[in-house]
Every structure is written in C-alpha cells, then in structure tokens.
Structure 1
Amino acid sequence: MYDVMGKTVEEPDPETMRRVLEGLAQADDEHPDVSLTHESGWCLSAFGGGLLVWENPDEDSVAPGEMRDVGREETVRLFGLLAAGDIASIDALSWQR
C-alpha cells in the first residue's frame, strides 16, 4: 500500500488502511491518492471525495473502472478484499468504464 506521499506500507491491516486513508486530507495535485496493489497487478486507488479507481496497469485489454462517492468503510472493505486476493469480488462491482 502507498500513502499519500508515496511511502510504502507493507501488509496493512484494516486500522492501518484507515490511517492511510485519513492521509488524503493532505492530498494535493502532485500527491492526489493512496493505493493498494496486489501481486497480480490489480490496483485500487482512493482519492479525496470518495473516488475509487480499479485497474490493472499490466493488462491493456481491461479499461480502468471508477466509482464515485464511496465511503471510507466501504473503501477499507475493498482494500481488504484486494489484500486477500479476492479480485473477482471487486471486479464484479458496478465500475464505470
């Protein structure tokens, strides 16, 4: 996981994920998001205001998806699913592509 300043957070638990998300209060144009990347290449990025971006930068055939107005606890839940490798559950959500 990467915090808003790009610092690596290894194997974050839900409480650490919440703290990293709180760091979005210091987001700026250069550092707008926090993210978690699974070893499969799938990445979930959270931006201020509840924007989530779901993508696999290594997979050109799949367009990134967006979800807006996502609450903090739902974001933590999705980060937890990604950390556990449950790609299918995240991918099955209503992403705007």
Structure 2
Amino acid sequence: MSMQLSKELTDGIVLAFLAEQDLYGYVLTKSVQEVFAVSESTMYPVLRRIKAKGWVTTYDEPFEGRNRRYYSITKEGRAALQDLQMDWHDFSARVEHILGDEDGK
C-alpha cells in the first residue's frame, strides 16, 4: 500500500536527515528515496519551504568545476524537528490505537 506523505511529515523527514549531517540536494533526495517514494520535483519545493521558514541554511561547495548546494539544519530547524517528532509520536500512537495490529485485537 502506498500512502501520501503530508507536508509536515515530509519536512520532518528531511530535517531528520539534515540533523545527521549537511547534505547536497541530490544526495538528500536519494537518501529520502531509500525510505519513501518521493521525486526530485517534490524535494526541491520542500527544501525551499523549510529554508523560507529559517529551518535550514545553504552554502555552496565547488565540485568538478561546478558548485554543489549543501543544506544545513539551523537551531530553529532542530527545534521544529523536535516539535514534529513529538507530534508524530502522538499521532502514530493514536493511529495504532485505532487500527491496532492483529495480535492486539
């Protein structure tokens, strides 16, 4: 089964990857794609949105005659990630209570 990810959940997933290390767009997209089916056309609007919120900053590093744009989580981004994690834990506990698993019913 495939489910749509909400904007908030997608933001949280991206922030969680960036909390581990700074990443450039391509690697970040591939990292997220290893876990969820998202396209590049989805990822870049997410990155623009969380940058506009002040949750990430960017910097460029030269690579083979071009620049790679890296994304780095900010202090505000870490606080937002904590909030999103708390919301996720609450939400997932409620869903688990409603849907349960076969052994729990």
Larger Rg: 2
* More relative contact order, 1 or 2 (CA 8 Å, 6+ apart): 2
TM-score for the superposition, normalised by structure 1: 0.29
TM-score for the superposition, normalised by structure 2: 0.27
